[in-house]
Amino acid sequence: MITLSSLISLLQTALPLEGEQGGGLSYSFLQHYWCFVVALLGAILVFLLFVQGANSVAGSLGQTEQGRRLIYNSTGRKWEFTFTTLVTFGGAFFASYPLFYSTSFGGAYWLWMLILFTFVVQAVSYEFQNKIGNFLGPKTFQFCLTLNGILGPLLLGGAVATFFEGSNFIVEKGNLLALPALTGEGSGEGLPVISHWANASHGLDALLNPWVLVFGFAVVFLARTLGILYVMNNIDDEDIRSRGSVRLIGSAVPFVILFVAYLVHLLMKDGYAYDPATGIIFMEPYKYLHNLLDMWYLLVILLIGVVLVLYGIAIEIFGRSTSQRSTFNSQLNKGIWPAGIGTVLTVLALLLCSAWNNTAYYPSTADLQSSLTMQNSCSSEFTLRTMFYVSLLVPFVLAYIVYAWRAIDRKKLTREELDESSHAY
């Protein structure tokens, strides 16, 4: 059980000591730290799915061609952040937990390929849609943006849900040494692959689990909610804002219902625990509820996150009158910021809940002992320590992102800017 005091102890032992080879960063601290970094990237990714969310409602929110173009140009100034965060999330997972990377991507092949296909088409859709020479027509690429806008969050949400629901894979490292038979009957059969999916669906079977779909659609509606909030505050257009207020309710209500349903299910369900001394994995009733109670600070973060999300939605729906706007700080009055910060905190808490406190974060429903934990799937101590020092660059990266973001969004986007801009989609 990780208590706050043990977490502080870990931090104290993690401080690098001058002259000591390798510093004072313990392996356990590094495993938890990198789990935190990956979870944070995942949480930021979910927030940045507002790009996908806005694109998925661009048709109804924009109504006219000009309106849709405004929305695509608004999200078009941010889409690369989402894309890059997704890629970096994958890279960071590979570097810190290579067994997850190989097992999940190599096993849930179709699920990941579908996700990647939607992002591949998104990448060119902004640039190509309205360019002369686009012989596929703007509607083709707008369809691609909509497809990515729905499938991206749905499937990514579904993939995250498998951290709690389990997946159908088996890991056996000894397979590496099982050479295919060279001659005779059955020669050449069998691959020396250490992990494989237990059925031919290669990941699509996850979508048959209703709770995976519940969480996936919760992420879809969250992305839409965030997207509408973002667009309402980034675009200076009264039509879009007034339609946004109505559409916001249509997205926020299903999100809240689905999220609460999943959260209740999560807290009531059995979870995948492991004994750190032996590595044996076992089922524990109410595991995730126990995790939140044992790691009460995660519970606090989760609650703050949820409150902020609801607050962000509420002030946008109910607090748009002039008198209320003057009451609050001008930044806080924009629903996207509390909702966005709340999203990051909520998802962060959930992801850490899936992995900390001796929890198998990538459980196997085919073979319980194949489940992945921080301990049995992480990189070596040397690699985690090396990457720790690299991660110290992250605050600088975040700082210049914030700086550039503010520079671009200094003024709200208008129809006039689109007409005058040297680079508009």
Least distance to another protein from the beta carbon of 311, Å?
28
Least distance to another protein from the beta carbon of 83, Å?
7
CA-CA distance, 222 to 228, in Å (whole number)? 10
CA-CA distance, 341 to 335, in Å (whole number)? 10
Kindly tell me which residue out of 36, 110, 143, 297 binds another protein, with binding defined by CB under 8 A: 110
Binding of residue 407 to another protein (CB under 8 A):
yes
CB-nearer residue toward another protein: 118 or 346: 118
Q: Looking at residues 66 to 85 of the shown chain, list those that interact with another protein (rule: CB under 8 A).
A: 77-78, 80-81, 83-84
**By CB under 8 A, which span of 151-159, 258-266, 274-282, 396-404 interacts with another protein?**
396-404
CA-based nearest residue to 69, from 116, 119, 131, 118: 131
Kindly tell me which residue out of 22, 91, 210, 279 binds another protein, with binding defined by CB under 8 A: 91
Kindly tell me which residue out of 11, 124, 246, 249 binds another protein, with binding defined by CB under 8 A: 124
* Cβ pair 373, 286 in contact under 8 A: no
Which pair of structure tokens corresponds to residue 35?
């789990």
Q: Output the CA torsion 37→43→48→50 (10° steps).
A: 180
Binding of residue 280 to another protein (CB under 8 A):
no
Number of Cβ atoms within 10 Å of the Cβ of 312 = 25
**By CB under 8 A, which span of 45-53, 296-304, 328-336, 417-425 interacts with another protein?**
417-425
**By CB under 8 A, which span of 116-124, 160-168, 292-300, 346-354 interacts with another protein?**
116-124
211-230 mask for another protein (x: CB under 8 A)? --------------------
**By CB under 8 A, which span of 51-59, 123-131, 240-248, 355-363 interacts with another protein?**
123-131
CA-based nearest residue to 53, from 199, 167, 223, 303: 223
Kindly tell me which residue out of 56, 75, 96, 168 binds another protein, with binding defined by CB under 8 A: 96
Least distance to another protein from the beta carbon of 256, Å?
32
CA-CA distance, 116 to 101, in Å (whole number)? 15
DSSP characters for 169-229?
EEE-GGGGG-PPP-SSTTTT-S---SEEESSTTTTGGGGGSHHHHHHHHHHHHHHHHHHHH
Q: Looking at residues 355 to 374 of the shown chain, list those that interact with another protein (rule: CB under 8 A).
A: none
CA-CA distance, 313 to 335, in Å (whole number)? 6
- Residues in the interface with another protein (CB under 8 A) total 87
**By CB under 8 A, which span of 112-120, 277-285, 293-301, 361-369 interacts with another protein?**
112-120
Binding of residue 5 to another protein (CB under 8 A):
no
CB-nearer residue toward another protein: 189 or 238: 189
Binding of residue 408 to another protein (CB under 8 A):
yes
Binding of residue 120 to another protein (CB under 8 A):
yes
Alpha carbon of 287 to those of 272, 357, 374: distances in Å?
7, 10, 16
DSSP characters for 32-100?
HHHHHHHHHHHHHHHHHTHHHHHHHTHHHHH-SHHHHHHHHHHHHTTHHHHHHHHHHHHHHHHHH-HHH
Which pair of structure tokens corresponds to residue 374?
């921080």
**Burial of residue 254, with CB atoms counted within 10 A of its CB: 0-12 exposed, 13-18 middle, 19 or more buried:** middle
Cα atoms in the Cβ-side hemisphere of radius 13 Å centred on 130: 13
Kindly tell me which residue out of 135, 326, 331, 416 binds another protein, with binding defined by CB under 8 A: 135
Q: Looking at residues 151 to 210 of the shown chain, list those that interact with another protein (rule: CB under 8 A).
A: 173-174, 176-177, 179-180, 182, 187-197, 200, 202
CB-nearer residue toward another protein: 11 or 193: 193
Kindly tell me which residue out of 8, 15, 113, 246 binds another protein, with binding defined by CB under 8 A: 113
- Planar angle of CA 93, 29, 401, nearest 5 degrees: 50
Binding of residue 119 to another protein (CB under 8 A):
yes
- Sign, CA dihedral 73-75-77-79, equals negative
Binding of residue 23 to another protein (CB under 8 A):
no
- Sign, CA dihedral 253-303-400-41, equals negative
Binding of residue 26 to another protein (CB under 8 A):
no
* Cβ pair 19, 7 in contact under 8 A: no
| Total count of residues recorded for the chain | 425
Binding of residue 380 to another protein (CB under 8 A):
yes
CA-CA distance, 103 to 70, in Å (whole number)? 41
Kindly tell me which residue out of 1, 136, 246, 300 binds another protein, with binding defined by CB under 8 A: 136
**By CB under 8 A, which span of 154-162, 213-221, 230-238, 385-393 interacts with another protein?**
385-393
Least distance to another protein from the beta carbon of 363, Å?
18
Binding of residue 234 to another protein (CB under 8 A):
no
